[in-house]
Structure 1
Amino acid sequence: METLNFRFENGSRKIAVPPQLVGVVSSGNLEVLIEPAPLNGACEIEIRTAANGFGATWQAVMSDFHERWQLADTRICINDMGATPAVVSLRLDQAAETMTTGAP
């Protein structure tokens, strides 16, 4: 297992609903826990992944996600069992959509 941490400053979109869990950890998939947190406008992302050595790919996917959503005061935890970048982006977008619209 590898743990990666990313922090993106100066987000512009705050969330204020209870924490949400999106996805299921199983073979080739991941889960995303997203929650509000007092981070001075930042978004922190922690990734626990079974696929070691893909830090640059994770950095690119997380940077792309932050550019799309600009989340502020948000903590995201990802548990990954080898999901592809496309699945990671999908799950992150689902989690952000849930938090910004309040949908279950």
Structure 2
Amino acid sequence: MLMKSSKLLKLKFKHQLLMLFMALLTGTTMVSAQELTINGTVVDESGVPLAGANIVEKNTTHGAQTDFDGNFSLKTSSNAVLVVSYFVSFPKNQTTFKTKK
């Protein structure tokens, strides 16, 4: 009788471990589904592209820098607040992006 309960206990443990693994796997898929890629161009007030501007998602380490034509691509969360900075003489701008459903 003791052997049967020991086997049953091991089987329950394996089943619970498998369920935990599946839950973690599903959770990471849901988190990655909330990311999006933002492509854009940073320009000054007169419409001239700004090469070398920094775009950073607020409160994260996700960031990008514009190319020679002011273009950038950045993977962010769906409710990202982007902070754009360009040298010291330009003020920082914050822009909030929301996804369209």
- Same fold per superposition (TM over 0.5): no
Higher strand residue share:
1
Rg bigger for which structure?
A: 2
